Amino acid sequence: MRTAYQYKLRPTKQQAVEIDRWLSMLCAQYNYLLADRFNWYEQNRCPINVCPLVCHLPELRDNPDYYSQKKTLPLLKKSHPHYSDIHSQVLQDVVKRVKVTFDRFLSGDSNGKRSGRPRFKPRDRYRTFTYPQMKDDCIQGNLINLPKLGSIKLVLHRPIPTGFKVKTASVTKKADGYYVTLSLEDSTVPTVKPDINPNSITGIDMGLKEFLTTSEGEPIAIPQHYRKSQKRLRVIQKRVSRRKKGSNRRRKAVKQLGKQHKKVADKRKDFHFKTAKQLLSKYDVVVHEDLNVKGLSRTRLAKSVHDAGWSSFLSILANKAENAGLLVIAVNPRNTSQDCSSCGMKVPKKLHERWHSCQCGCSLDRDHNAAINIKNRAVGHSVLKAKSLRAQ
Ligand SMILES: [Zn+2]
């Protein structure tokens, strides 16, 4: 079982300066390696429909890949000796990062979803570096030993669970300081898979008015304090845009803005975790609309305003369920809000119509109706069938 814990770091001034220096060096290296890959395409590509009969071919060189780029690192350290201050594995991880982004661009990730053209990163957008291998005893008391950076103080707000080993560590610079994310693994404990009860099932409809509504008709609202912190974000955003570019006052406001962004993100994450926990403690199976279904209908488009928040919630939900051996199912979202949940007739309604009332006598809140439809679509789902067969 794998999980990740994040702790706040309290580096000394010197250590913070060193981390920043590493980040700027790694950023430069990242951009250089990316450019190296792009250059190959520029030099070795022939637009066939406009190819002149006689053309000059530059000396062909091999397409840079992970291994060939990795081999350049010792040379780099010779020509730019300050790069040897960085831990070698951290430097190698940059090559891997370039490989991953490029692979995703050319051939897509495991789901076949392709990303856009990789972009060069400005200095302040490059915020993380990773140690791909960590020693077991890297944490001593409230100090973490990061090779070549030394022992850095960290706020151990919760202990590392017993039996887990630290696999990798990523240091990130955020608006309000430095953080370390440890990926932990316990190979002795397989993911727990108790027999789930397929009847303990709920559907959730993600909405605009409420954050979500369950098929039992319980709404879960977006907490007030989250809305408040978002309002404050808008105030600060205005402040930034009013101040003169390049001025000190503007720079200060930008810093404030970064901090507020982090606050909003933290609050949202906290809310997502709590909601996921609440749902999974009540139900064994949670069904939701598949957000990745192609062909956005009009209602989907309107909903996409909040998509960013939803997809991160759904990934937290899926992750939590997996760890607890429970089930989360995504179903086709088509017409979930239009169909009647009791007779299946289509009852067209516009987005502002909040109530569903059908000729068959079914009269429900719009989101409640949709949630029931979502739940019903999972009944008979192949995953669920396999599960209940095993339970019998
Ligand atoms: Zn009906």
Map tokens 């831990």 to a residue: 87
Residue 149: both structure tokens together: 């950076």
Cβ-contact 182, 5 below 8 angstroms:
yes
Nearest alpha carbon to residue 203 among 330, 313, 288: 288
**Separation of alpha carbons 260 and 392, rounded Å:** 51
The residues of the chain scoring below 50 in pLDDT are 294-298, 301-304, 391-392
Give me the pLDDT at residue 384, please.
Answer: 67
Q: Write out the E strands in 263-366.
A: 285-289, 327-331, 355-357, 363-365
Give me the pLDDT at residue 113, please.
Answer: 72
| 32, 90, 114, 183, 222 from 101: Cα distances, Å | 14, 17, 10, 21, 34
Q: Ligand 1 centroid vs 333 CA: distance in angstroms?
A: 19
Give me the pLDDT at residue 180, please.
Answer: 96
Q: Ligand 1 centroid vs 346 CA: distance in angstroms?
A: 8
Give me the pLDDT at residue 295, please.
Answer: 45
Q: Which amino acid is at 214?
A: T
Map tokens 């304090």 to a residue: 225
**Separation of alpha carbons 11 and 155, rounded Å:** 11
Give me the pLDDT at residue 277, please.
Answer: 94
Q: Ligand 1 centroid vs 373 CA: distance in angstroms?
A: 12
Q: Ligand 1 centroid vs 293 CA: distance in angstroms?
A: 26
C-beta neighbour count of 244 within 10 angstroms: 8
Residue 372 falls in which region: left (phi positive, over 0), alpha (psi -120 to 50) or beta: alpha
Residue 239: both structure tokens together: 């402040």
Identify any residues that bridge with 173 across adjacent strands, giving them in sequence order.
178
Q: Write out the residues surrounding ion ligand 1, Cβ under 5 A.
A: 340, 342-343, 345, 358, 360, 362
Q: Ligand 1 centroid vs 363 CA: distance in angstroms?
A: 8
0.95 exceeded by pTM: no
Give me the pLDDT at residue 296, please.
Answer: 46
Q: Ligand 1 centroid vs 371 CA: distance in angstroms?
A: 15
Give me the pLDDT at residue 40, please.
Answer: 81
Give me the pLDDT at residue 292, please.
Answer: 65
Give me the pLDDT at residue 9, please.
Answer: 96
Q: Ligand 1 centroid vs 315 CA: distance in angstroms?
A: 33
Give me the pLDDT at residue 298, please.
Answer: 45
Q: Ligand 1 centroid vs 218 CA: distance in angstroms?
A: 21
